[in-house]
């Protein structure tokens, strides 16, 4: 699931909106997703720098990796490692026992979001279909 121009004023509101999106695309409860993402953020920000964040969580009732991406209408403070506000967010949800698959998914998302040309394309694209295309270029699994 992809959103172009998500409107939110705070990190908490961003996580609420993304949890709602994820719930619509999965069999998970919106509140459970939000609580898991918020709990993970309490351990330390998932803001990886350069305006990027990768919130994530594990769920017993999830059968496969599931992703939600949003480009924010306006950057928000995410307590990122570099102190910069975040405007590109990829939420990765994984089955509780995913182990290596979860780590590989996180690594793949991080690599993709650290590619300057990809980040520039994500920031300049104005519709969800274009964002989805950028995120899945070269992907044969279409996992989310």
- Is-catalytic flag, 102? no
- In residues, how long is the chain? 144
Question: How remote is the C-alpha of 37 from its chain's centroid?
Answer: 10
Query: Read out DSSP for 40-74?
Result: HHHHS--EEETTEE--EEEETT--S-EEEEEEEEE
Active-site residue, selected from the candidate residues 4, 17, 19, 56: 56
Match 């409860």 to its residue by tokens.
Answer: 29
Position of tokens 């918020």? 38
Catalogue the active-site residues. Answer: 56
């Amino acid at each position: 699931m992809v959103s172009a121009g998500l409107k939110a004023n705070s990190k908490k509101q961003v996580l609420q909106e993304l949890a709602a999106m994820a719930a619509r695309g999965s069999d998970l409860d919106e509140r459970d997703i939000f609580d898991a993402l918020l709990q993970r953020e309490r351990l330390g920000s998932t803001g990886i720098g350069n305006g990027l964040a990768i919130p994530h969580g594990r769920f017993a009732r999830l059968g496969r990796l599931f992703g939600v991406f949003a480009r924010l209408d306006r950057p928000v403070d995410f307590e990122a490692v570099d102190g910069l506000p975040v405007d590109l967010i990829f939420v990765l949800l994984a089955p509780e026992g995913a182990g290596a698959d979860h780590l590989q998914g996180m690594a793949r998302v991080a690599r993709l979001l650290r590619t300057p040309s990809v980040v520039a394309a994500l920031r300049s694209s104005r519709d969800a279909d274009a964002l989805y295309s950028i995120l899945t270029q070269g992907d044969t699994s279409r996992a989310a």
